[in-house]
Amino acid sequence: MFAHLNASQLQFLIDGALWTVVLSSIAMICGGMVGFVIALARVSPGAGLRRAAAVYIQVVQGTPLLVILFVTYFGLPTIGVTVSPLVSAGMSLTINVSAYLGEIWRGAIQSVPAPQWEAAECLALTRTQRMFRVVLPQAIRIATPPTVGFSVQVIKNTSLASVVGFVELARAGQIINNSIFQPFSVYLIIAAIYFCLCFPISRLSRRLERRRGFARALPELEVFAHE
C-alpha cells in the first residue's frame, strides 16, 4: 500500500500529523483554561453568571464545529480582523472544547459529596479556599478519565481545520491525493495514522475509568457482604 507514496510524500504526511498534534495541544490547553472558567461560573453562587455560562454551553454545544470555524475564518475578516488558518482553527477549537470541558468539569465538581463542602465551611475556610483546597483536588480525580477520553474527540475534530486550508493530517492527505489520485489507499493511510494517535489515548481513558469504577464499586460490595 505504501508503494504508492514516495519518501517526500510520506514526510509530508508525518509533518501533517505533527501539526495535528500541535493543534490538538493548543485546543486542549486553551480550551481547558477557558473551560475551567466556564465550569467555575457554572457552579458560582451568582445566578446571572451561572445562567450566562449555561447559555454559552448550550449555544456552543448546539453549533457544529464546522460552522464555528466558518464564522471565525470567513466572518471575522468582514469586521476587520484577519486571521490565519492556524489562529482561526485554534480559536474555533478553543471555543468548542471549552464548552464541552466546562460541562464535564462542572459535573466533576458537583459530584464531590456535599459534606466535603460543609466540613470545609465548618473549618472556616473561605469559599475560594474551599474550592481550591478541598473540592477541586477531589474533582480532578473524578474528571481525569472523561477528560482524557474527550481529548480523543479533540484530535479527531482537528481534521475539520483542513476545511479552512490549515495543512494538518487530513489536509495533507487531500493534497497528496490530488497529485497521485489514489483516494482509497491515501485515506486508508490517513485513517490509520489517526487511529495510531487516538487508540492509545482511548485505551488509557478506559483503563482510568475502570480503576475509578473499581474504587466506586467497593462500598457497594461491602454492603452486600454485610447483608
Partner 1 sequence: MNLDFSAVLPFWPDLAKGALLSLLLAVSATVLGFAIGTLCAVGRRSSYRPVSAVCGAYVEAIRNTPLLVQIFLVYFGLSSVGFRLSAVVVAILAMVINVGAYAAEIMRAGFDSIQPGQIEAAECLGLSRVQVYCHVILLPGLERVYPALTSQFVLMMLATSVCSQISTEELTAVANFVQSETYRPLETYLIVALMYVLLSLLMRIGFWGLGAWLFPRRRKLGTPC
**Contacting positions for partner 1 (CB under 8 A):** 58-59, 61-68, 70-71, 74-76, 78-80, 152, 155-160, 162-163, 170, 173-174, 177, 183-184, 187-188, 190-191, 194-195, 198-199, 202, 220
Q: Which is nearer to partner 1, 68 or 120 (CB)?
A: 68
**Nearest Cα to Cα of residue 193 among 64, 3, 36, 19:** 19
CB of 86 to partner 1, least distance (A): 18
Phi, psi dihedral angles at 191 (to 5 degrees): -60, -40
Q: Give 3-state DSSP helix, strand, coil % of the chain, rounded to 5.
A: 85, 0, 15
CB of 132 to partner 1, least distance (A): 28
CB of 90 to partner 1, least distance (A): 17
Q: Which is nearer to partner 1, 58 or 129 (CB)?
A: 58
Torsion-angle region of 183 (φ positive above 0: left; ψ -120 to 50: alpha; else: beta): alpha
Q: Which is nearer to partner 1, 63 or 144 (CB)?
A: 63
CB of 162 to partner 1, least distance (A): 7
- SS3 category, 34: helix
CB of 183 to partner 1, least distance (A): 3
175 grid coordinates: 493534497
**Nearest Cα to Cα of residue 158 among 32, 19, 13:** 19
| Residue 164 identity | V
| Residue 99 identity | A
Q: Which is nearer to partner 1, 136 or 162 (CB)?
A: 162
Q: Which is nearer to partner 1, 120 or 172 (CB)?
A: 172
CB of 125 to partner 1, least distance (A): 28
On the CB side of 108, CA atoms within 13 Å amount to: 25
Q: Which is nearer to partner 1, 114 or 124 (CB)?
A: 114
- SS3 category, 105: helix
